[in-house]
Structure 1
Amino acid sequence: MAVKQLSQLNLASYTSNKTFYPSPNAWEDQVFYFLMLDRFSDGKENKYKDNSGNFVSNGVTPLFTGDQNNATRTPEDAKRWRESGVKYLGGNLKGLTSKVGYLKRLGVTAIWISPIFKQVSFQETYHGYGIQDFLEVNPKFGSSEDLKELVQTAHANGIYVILDIILNHSGNIFTYEADNVNYNGTPYQVKGFNDEKGKPSIPFHKTDPNNPRAWPQENDAIWPVEFQDPSLYTQKGSIRNWDGYPEFLEGDFEDLKDIRHGFGGLDDYAASPALKYLAQAYKYWIAYADIDGFRIDTVKHMDKGATRIFASIIHEFAQSIGKEKFFLVGEITGGRSRAFETLEETGLDAALGIDDIPDKLEYLVKGYRNPRDYFSLFRNSLLVQKESHIWFRDKVVTMFDDHDQVRKGQNKARFCADKDASKVVLNALALNALTLGIPCIYYGTEQAFDGHGDSDRYLREAMFGGEFGSFGTKGVHFFNEENYVYQEISKILEIRRQKKALSRGRQYLRSISGDGVNFGLPQIIGNEIRSVVPWSRILSDQEVVMAINTDYYQPREAWVTIDSELHNEGDFLTCIYSTEKQQEGQRVKIEARNGKAVKITVPTAGCVIYA
């Protein structure tokens, strides 16, 4: 059992005489992979490649071979499949450890894991956002030793580990007198802390840390014991106006209980004991397991002063043990201006959840957004008061599929849910990987998962053969390294690794021409765009030119503008990647058109890279 009292934590015992895994030189060089631990792997799969690249033949779960809807053939089966999507399915830390090789061969260099900490026992909080014990791993996922083994295995394979953490709230640890109450600006009376069955049978008063005999049982209330203090919680009921001030800061996140972090302005913020306790708990996980970064949930709902203090504490602690660039990425909703303002004011390293990036990326690839709309997201230097858009390269974690799809309301849908979208999902992955920002792949996208429906569950299919598999399946796993999308994005990510311009370079949407005379940016004609969409990344004197084709049914040809000063007329660019393999190695001649330009052909719904 984990330590139950923060005052008993001796961090020096975890840090002295220990060499920690160093931070990367540049986080923008990394490729993230976000997975929900309960949905990823239980370690029982058969016919997948282990971490050394050898086939496992003693597992019990077969590989998916196209037998879609094997779990939904009758109304009763379909109902059972749907209902299983809101329950624990069985993914765990040992299962994830066994798939580190799968991720490495894909090209992943940083794993972002959904929260792993112990949850309230009376709810199916498989997602991990309802913490009951900040110092213990959820037993359904394994043990703290399993976490340490995972991190060691990842590090041995050159992969960093980012834990998803929560500061804003705890799990559903107490019950109001009036039961379910909404925010009205004033505190409510509380019946008591909840016991392991969800009953408010534990007195709602401060527990004496020095009297273990008076402590609740380990599945009751909240742990460590210092958190059993009513003054640490705002107790103001559930948020209903998600943008109303101060409601979005003080209210409960549904039935998750809001934690009081302190008070004051950005420069004179006074941290509450709760904020200090949280910082101590998360320092422990860095020291114990050698974690490389945190993704901080619901930053919008925290005081900026609290976020700044937490970021300072964590960065200083990490630097003291040799992790010079411990990575803190915040989920900051509300648009770019809010996100980048929050970064500057709090000291977080990067933002996640900038709602316009996923939308414009997805629908540009599908042919329903102007390319300029996506590329301009990285060019508004005035907005962020920076001299160059290059600043964006390590300040944004970008993705298009994710676990809640807030931007789509009640019509949840992975990228591949749309008709024929599987034809161009590789283009979406390529666009994400080869444009500014730190790219993040959401688990299953590399296997073309197509989950869709009216709740989050449909975005959280099991990879490993549970009762709620993708494509309406159960009992089959999806760790298929022969999958076309997996193989091709792996090749693209290897090119990204080799060519620093693709992670650190300046970025330009390029003009195109059909006749080599009249040039202009590709744009929507009517209601859609079916065209070559090219862009460049330039680092020093090296330019890499890329293009996708948003036409699902035929190849497209265009003259593409390139940097005039870096190239000489009569020289050549060489195709180093194409979704049409015979195109690789072919050269295109640089001509004096619109400055300088090359004529390229992009395969049907395809992608090319020239250097």
Structure 2
Amino acid sequence: MKKIIFSLITLFTLSLSAQIDRMEPPFWYEGMNKSEVQVLFYGKNIAQNSVQVSNNVVITNVTKTENPNYLFVTIDTKNIKAQDLQFTFSNGKKSFKRNFEIKKRRPNSAIRKSFDASDVMYLLMPDRFANGNPNNDSSPELQEKANRSLPGGRHGGDIQGIINNLDYIKELGATAIWSTPMCEDNDKGYSYHTYGQSDVYRIDPRYGTNEEYKKLADEMHKRGMKLIKDYVTNHWGAEHWMFKDMPTYDWFHQFPGYAQSNYRMTTQYDINGSKRDAKYCMDGWFVPSMPDLNQSNPLVLNYLIQNAIWWIEYADLDGFRVDTYSYNDKEGIAKWTKAITDEYPYFNIVGEVWMHDQAQISYWQKDSPIAKIQSYNSNCPSVMDFTLHDVFGNVFNEDRADWSNGMIKFYENFVNDFLYADSNNLLIFLENHDTGRFNHIYQNDFKKYQLGMTIMATMRGIPQLYYGSEIGMAGDKGKGDADIRQDFPGGWEGDVNNAFLASGRTAEQAKYFDFSKKVLNWRKNKEVIHTGKLTHYIPENNVYVYFRHNDKETVMVVINNATDTQNLNLIRFQENIKSFTLGNDILSGKTVDLKNELSIEGKTSMILELK
């Protein structure tokens, strides 16, 4: 009889516990600046219950919404040491409990060092990089299954594939990895890019597990490398569990239902603009499959803040790249960013601000002199230098210079650095996962690749390399995104060409890799490049000359974009050459005399360490 009663009690307890289908965050940490944590409980009619918590922990707020399946319970964890807490739920007749753990925090977690101009960032797409575990290529829980024969399908790349090839990335000279999002994306198709996330507390099982993501960070830290998470604040996927049963009608932007963004980010600060246009930029959906999050809703904003902090703490992250930063509610995203940097004062966050004017890009960087005019501060330390990317995309085909074409485009880009609060904290890049492939634009002209890489490796800012460019990978964006996101050769068992290994590279791949490795590894320990002053000279005859210099060292960079040899009268550069007489070219290994003229062949670059 006792066994029967015990079994009934157990079943009764389980049935009550089943009222909670989700609890987010799943745990928290001691000693956080954000000591008040708002725990979301989700389950059938959970809001009909009262709630208490154990160990004298104070509940500071309980929020119910129009959806009875949600209950938001805020507790104050200040001075609460690592321990298990218990939430008790009761409707007057029945009660049940749910454990909530406060975990021990890593020593010095708050003052972790992030990425900066001393780093080189390697951007990869996990599904297209390497398949380290073929057993997780598909998941019974998720709709889209692996199909490598489909260009836009899931190809099977995963976290283990990245871990297996960390030494390759380190040998190349990259010190940080920015991976496109890895949280679960349960879209029926084209889910490989993972920007339409369906669960932001869970790594997509086709990439691996939360524990494997944590292992990736650990393995990178052993190698002195940094992991940067691609965070999406603007939207989730239409398969997100919360979109299917919304906590509040205004959790997502409603018009009602779907409305397309006008993509005109200039409406965010246009003093002559209409309110309607600004609304459709910020609140309109990026695409129909990505419902737009409402950061002006305090519950949404707090959820996103806590999720971001949770991932930093859980996976020991080193930075964020924030997708579509300037499409968010501008006040909401500023609060989100400040909350992260208040918790981690040295944590770097780079926002994607895809605009084509320096003043407009500057607006979104922390302490921007432009945004100050409107008393706005995004609090975002870094932004992406898309105007420089625009120059990289056409200038090396302009063999003959005129007033506005040729290398003058680089000069004019950097002339506008005064608009930025911190030009050293801009992300600079030849390309990324959304743009045309550099090597396709220039038809795999190795000389033009050398010119582009030379500038990226020696210019102010944080260089970002897109996976595969370093072995000459191309891809035509005109054929669709899948063509610029091809599989890395050697990442799959049975690949004929394994470019991860020196012995497996073709002669052409080795040529690209060896050059990239040389300049990026040289850059690693060059403080003069990381933080030195930039002095540049107006290009003449399609030749651009600039210096990076500090009190200890001077580096002279010469880029000849003309097709023929140019002879430079060095007297023009005397204010930077000063008493130096020799220059050691780290590209050719040759030493050049700096007394009179410098001769440089067509479509060639030099990086001269002055002696």
Q: Which residue of 1 aligns with 2:600?
A: 602
1:253 counterpart SS class: coil
Q: Which residue of 2 aligns with 1:293?
A: 319
**What is the aligned counterpart of 2:560 among 549, 562, 566?**
549
TM-score (norm 2): 0.71
Structure 1 residue 466, shift from structure 2 partner: 7.1
**Structure 2 CA distance for partners of 1:608 and 1:565, relative to 1, 3 Å:** closer
- Residues in 1 aligned to 2:251 and 2:593: alpha-carbon distance in whole angstroms: 65
Q: Which residue of 1 aligns with 2:392?
A: 361
1:245 counterpart SS class: helix
**What is the aligned counterpart of 1:222 among 239, 242, 247?**
242
Judge conservation of contact 1:416–1:448 (CA < 8 Å) in 2. Answer: no
**Structure 2 CA distance for partners of 1:381 and 1:8, relative to 1, 3 Å:** closer
**What is the aligned counterpart of 1:27 among 80, 91, 116?**
116
- Deviation sequence 1:169-215 (CA, Å, 0-9, x none): 11013xxxxxxxxxxxxxxxxxxxxxxxxxxxxxxxxxxxxxxxxxx
Matched, 1:305 2:331: yes
**Structure 2 CA distance for partners of 1:360 and 1:86, relative to 1, 3 Å:** same
* 1:442-453 map, 5 Å: 442-452=466-476, 453=478
2:464 counterpart SS class: strand
Judge conservation of contact 2:253–2:293 (CA < 8 Å) in 1. Answer: yes
* 1:169-318 map, 5 Å: 169-173=235-239, 221-222=241-242, 228-236=247-255, 237-239=258-260, 241-243=262-264, 244-255=277-288, 256-262=290-296, 271-318=297-344
- Residues in 1 aligned to 2:437 and 2:517: alpha-carbon distance in whole angstroms: 24
**Structure 2 CA distance for partners of 1:451 and 1:400, relative to 1, 3 Å:** same
Structure 1 residue 465, shift from structure 2 partner: 4.9
2:364 counterpart SS class: helix
Judge conservation of contact 2:123–2:467 (CA < 8 Å) in 1. Answer: yes
2:278 counterpart SS class: coil
Q: Which residue of 1 aligns with 2:592?
A: 587
- Residues in 1 aligned to 2:546 and 2:553: alpha-carbon distance in whole angstroms: 14
**Structure 2 CA distance for partners of 1:170 and 1:547, relative to 1, 3 Å:** same
**Structure 2 CA distance for partners of 1:95 and 1:20, relative to 1, 3 Å:** farther
Structure of greater relative contact order (alpha carbons < 8 Å, 6+ residues apart)? 1
Judge conservation of contact 1:464–1:476 (CA < 8 Å) in 2. Answer: yes
**Structure 2 CA distance for partners of 1:420 and 1:87, relative to 1, 3 Å:** closer
Structure 1 residue 439, shift from structure 2 partner: 0.7
1:152 counterpart SS class: helix
**Structure 2 CA distance for partners of 1:283 and 1:561, relative to 1, 3 Å:** farther
Q: Which residue of 2 aligns with 1:346?
A: 378
**Structure 2 CA distance for partners of 1:6 and 1:445, relative to 1, 3 Å:** same
Q: Which residue of 1 aligns with 2:29?
A: 11
- Residues in 1 aligned to 2:114 and 2:437: alpha-carbon distance in whole angstroms: 36
2:540 counterpart SS class: coil
**Structure 2 CA distance for partners of 1:112 and 1:141, relative to 1, 3 Å:** same
**Structure 2 CA distance for partners of 1:135 and 1:348, relative to 1, 3 Å:** same
Q: Which residue of 1 aligns with 2:434?
A: 404
**Structure 2 CA distance for partners of 1:3 and 1:43, relative to 1, 3 Å:** farther
- Residues in 1 aligned to 2:463 and 2:25: alpha-carbon distance in whole angstroms: 39
- Residues in 2 aligned to 1:17 and 1:436: alpha-carbon distance in whole angstroms: 33
**What is the aligned counterpart of 2:456 among 410, 413, 432?**
432
Look up the equivalent residue of 1:296 and give its one-letter code.
Answer: V
Q: Which residue of 2 aligns with 1:194?
A: none
Judge conservation of contact 2:159–2:216 (CA < 8 Å) in 1. Answer: yes
Matched, 1:146 2:212: yes
- Paired residues in the alignment total 470
- Residues in 2 aligned to 1:171 and 1:458: alpha-carbon distance in whole angstroms: 23
Q: Which runs of 5+ in 2 are unaligned?
A: 1-19, 31-101, 135-145, 265-276, 368-376, 400-404
Judge conservation of contact 2:25–2:306 (CA < 8 Å) in 1. Answer: no
- Residues in 1 aligned to 2:175 and 2:26: alpha-carbon distance in whole angstroms: 35
**What is the aligned counterpart of 2:352 among 320, 324, 331?**
331
* RMSD (Å) for aligned C-alpha atoms: 3.0
Structure 1 residue 162, shift from structure 2 partner: 0.4
Matched, 1:137 2:203: yes
- Deviation sequence 1:129-182 (CA, Å, 0-9, x none): 011101000001001111111101111111111010111111013xxxxxxxxx
Look up the equivalent residue of 1:348 and give its one-letter code.
Answer: C
- Deviation sequence 1:115-138 (CA, Å, 0-9, x none): 000112433311010111010000
2:393 counterpart SS class: helix
**What is the aligned counterpart of 1:458 among 483, 489, 498?**
483
Structure 1 residue 509, shift from structure 2 partner: 2.7
Judge conservation of contact 2:393–2:441 (CA < 8 Å) in 1. Answer: no
**What is the aligned counterpart of 2:518 among 491, 496, 499?**
491
- Deviation sequence 1:355-391 (CA, Å, 0-9, x none): 321121232333364323223322325534x6xxxx3
Q: Which runs of 5+ in 1 are unaligned?
A: 46-79, 174-219, 263-270, 319-323, 406-411, 512-520, 524-530, 592-598
Q: Which region of structure 1 is more displaced relative to structure 2, 366-375 or 112-121?
A: 366-375
Judge conservation of contact 1:6–1:280 (CA < 8 Å) in 2. Answer: no
Matched, 1:392 2:423: yes
**What is the aligned counterpart of 1:574 among 580, 583, 602?**
583
Judge conservation of contact 1:362–1:415 (CA < 8 Å) in 2. Answer: no
**Structure 2 CA distance for partners of 1:170 and 1:245, relative to 1, 3 Å:** same
Judge conservation of contact 1:42–1:464 (CA < 8 Å) in 2. Answer: no
Structure 1 residue 232, shift from structure 2 partner: 0.5
Q: Which region of structure 1 is more displaced relative to structure 2, 21-30 or 145-154?
A: 21-30
Matched, 1:41 2:130: yes
**Structure 2 CA distance for partners of 1:44 and 1:605, relative to 1, 3 Å:** farther
**Structure 2 CA distance for partners of 1:605 and 1:567, relative to 1, 3 Å:** closer
- Deviation sequence 1:202-231 (CA, Å, 0-9, x none): xxxxxxxxxxxxxxxxxx7239x9964433
Look up the equivalent residue of 1:460 and give its one-letter code.
Answer: R
